[in-house]
Amino acid sequence: MLDALTVALGAAALALAAWCGFAALRDQPTKDWHFIGMGVVTLLALAQLVVGVVELARGGKPDEGTVIFVAYLVGAFAAVPAAGLLSLSERTKWGSVTVAAGALVLAVLEVRLYDIWGTPGA
């Protein structure tokens, strides 16, 4: 469940990065549709945070430690909304570039989360 969410979030983050990067290439700021996309990615990240905490409560042990695992879950949840809020104050293509960078950061965090959680039962 958690691994599936991690992979899905990584893919969604890359898609969001490409989408906002495309908007930046066309010299456009982030628009309503982009914010809906950010909302979807943020909801996925929230689901991942909840599932991750539930897994911990059920006795799951992340390979690299609980503190690091939770820190990365929170960071992954915060990355895209933070970049989205910044882009609200910058109504040029640079707002789109920033959201694209935020989504790339999320994708990197997902790769790390995959390692941190490790293989279940191993």
Partner 1 sequence: MPDTTTAAPGGRKRLVSGPGLLLVWLYGVMVVGALSRSAYQISTEFDRAPLAYSLSGAAALVYAFITYSLVRGGETARRAALFCCAAELAGVLAVGTWTLVRPEAFPDATVWSDFGMGYLFIPVILPITGMLWLRAKR
Question: Which residues of this chain interact with partner 1, rule CB under 8 A?
Answer: 67-68, 71, 75, 79, 82-83, 86-87, 89-90, 92, 94-95, 97-98, 101-102, 105, 108
Q: Quickly tell me which residue has 């882009």 as its tokens.
A: 87
**Identity of the residue, 4 or 74, whose beta carbon is nearer to partner 1 in the bound complex:** 74
**Identity of the residue, 42 or 98, whose beta carbon is nearer to partner 1 in the bound complex:** 98
For residue 118, is it left (φ>0), alpha (ψ between -120 and 50) or beta? left
Nearest distance from C-beta of residue 22 to partner 1, angstroms: 16
Q: Quickly tell me which residue has 């293509």 as its tokens.
A: 93
Nearest distance from C-beta of residue 84 to partner 1, angstroms: 11
Token pair for 55: 């897994």
**Identity of the residue, 27 or 121, whose beta carbon is nearer to partner 1 in the bound complex:** 27
Which one-letter amino acid corresponds to residue 108?
V
Which one-letter amino acid corresponds to residue 22?
F
**Identity of the residue, 4 or 18, whose beta carbon is nearer to partner 1 in the bound complex:** 18
Smallest Cα–Cα separation from 73: which of 92, 86, 56, 96? 56
Distance of CA 18 to the CA centre of its chain: 14
Nearest distance from C-beta of residue 60 to partner 1, angstroms: 20
Nearest distance from C-beta of residue 37 to partner 1, angstroms: 18
